[in-house]
Structure 1
Amino acid sequence: MSDSSPPSSPPVIAVEHVFKSVSDSTGTLDILRDIDFQLARRETVAIVGASGSGKSTLL
């Protein structure tokens, strides 16, 4: 689910257009692809996903 309404206070963290990829002899793998989000003061969030989906890389 996505909430497109603006946060009630200015963001304390803003992430825009984050990309991360790794390359080896077999090619390139996108780990994070065009990630955007904002976190407001006192906002609680959870990052969920399958093992190996890039959660720790994002943090």
Structure 2
Amino acid sequence: MPAAIVVENLTRRVRDADGWLTILDDLSFEVEAGATVAIVGASGSGKSTLLGL
């Protein structure tokens, strides 16, 4: 099946009191049409940031 979602080299940075904080760094993946995907990770690892983009 063809990829329904393609992410290549995604980086997300936000400014905080100390400068720039990298939330996602060089993230790449593909999700095929019809696939079931789970986004898992520790608290603060960028799951909500990824889903919010």
User: Same fold by TM-score, threshold 0.5 exceeded?
Assistant: yes
| More strand per residue | 2
**Structure that is richer in helix per residue:** 2
**Structure 1 runs, 4 residues or longer, greater than 6 Å off:** none
TM-score, normalised by the number of residues in structure 2: 0.85
- Structure 1 residue runs of 5 or longer lacking an equivalent are 1-8
Percent of residue pairs identical? 55
In structure 1, what is the Cα distance between the partners aligned to 2:41 and 2:9?
19
Aligned-pair Cα RMSD in Å: 1.0
Q: TM-score, normalising length from structure 1? A: 0.78
Size of the aligned set, in residue pairs, is 51
Counterparts of 1:19-58 in structure 2, within 5 Å, are: 19-58=11-50
